[in-house]
Amino acid sequence: MGIMGIWRVLLASVLLAMVFGLAESIEFTEKDLASDESLSDLYDRWRSHHTVSRDLTEKKRRFNVFKANVLHIHKVNQMNRPYKLKLNKFADMTSHEFRNSYSSKIRHHRMLRGSRARTGFMHEKTENLPASVDWRKQGAVTGVKDQGKCGSCWAFSAVVGVEGINKIKTGQLVSLSEQELVDCEKDNEGCNGGLMEQAFEFIKKQGGLTTERIYPYRARDGNCDSGKMNSPVVMIDGHEMVPANNENDLMKAVANQPVSVAIDAGGSDLQFYSEGVFNGNCGTELDHGVAVVGYGTTLDGTKYWIVKNSWGPEWGEQGYIRMQRTVDASEGLCGIAMEASYPIKLSTDNPTPSKDEL
């Protein structure tokens, strides 16, 4: 290998190190917890790592929140639990602030819209379920996205379902536009939350959804761009609801396609989840839309769902969380089996996109 070749390898190694370095969370030790002074130094490191600027008054207030979160993370990580927490980008937000910024108020919207619609369940007779499913390995899941401080997780959840069934039916994985749903789907409330089933119905009625490239995400409510909306690329024929409170039926659906679900994402453990099979405390106050893209079992026999989130790839397991399945409550851990739905696509037909739209 010549000198130029060696330099290229070294440069590539440095760039990779920089990428992985940026993705890593801030680590801390007992020494960092010893005093307010050492915790303040840790907070400064965390702010520098995540490029978070605060004025002096706000910094003092946020430091107290950060301190409480660090101590909580440390306490949980000392316990014999199958999951770990980390100091991620949400480390100086209270649980209440976090919930207000990132939740989709799904339970609230369900109460406004009334009870779930009764639909068929095309996967009801699915038998001989595989021991594990991972739609990522089948190329049916796009990269992890980040909803930002906008309660649009309902749109991200629905889009995962549509992207997945489109890949299964057509062989093409196309990243679709959450922003079109936020701006144009008026039965939901954009950054103020919504329901995935309303998103599916909008996509059906509009004759499809355009791409993320054509209608990029902005993490805020905006006026509907009808020109972009009228460039649909992926169409669906409707949606179905998975029978409520039945993890076995959810398993049948996930064996056939990625499924949009709602969970109760309140509480610090989910906010700071890092890795492992989550089995922490959570209720059924559904407030966050995510998508189940598979399931499996650990070597020690713990069964889990593979859940794609929309809080960016630096959260959790590269943007995913494994959540324990087949728990005592029929609604599943954090209510994961209460509001599951999926899009229907009966054919391989789609509007013909231009090369610029893909």
Residues designated catalytic: 153, 288, 309
Question: Which are the contacts of 265, defined by CB distance < 8 A and separation ≥ 6?
Answer: 99, 102, 103, 271, 282, 287, 288, 334
Ordered DSSP codes for 193-223: ---HHHHHHHHHHHT-B-BTTTS---SS---
Give the position of tokens 């890092």. Answer: 274
Radius of gyration of the chain (CA): 21
Ordered DSSP codes for 244-296: TT-HHHHHHHHHHS-EEEEE---SHHHHTEEEEEE-----S---EEEEEEEEE
Tokens of 114: 């009334």
Going from the C-alpha of 186 to that of each of 161, 191, 226, 353, the distances in angstroms are 20, 12, 13, 25
How far is 173 from 234, CA to CA, in rounded Å? Answer: 10
Element (H, E) at 305: strand 303-308
Asked if 200 and 343 count as a contact pair (C-beta separation under 8 A), the reply is yes
CA atoms 313, 317, 322, 323: torsion sign: negative
Neighbours of 299 (CB within 10 A): 5
How far is 83 from 275, CA to CA, in rounded Å? Answer: 6
How far is 358 from 351, CA to CA, in rounded Å? Answer: 12
Neighbours of 236 (CB within 10 A): 24
How far is 330 from 328, CA to CA, in rounded Å? Answer: 6
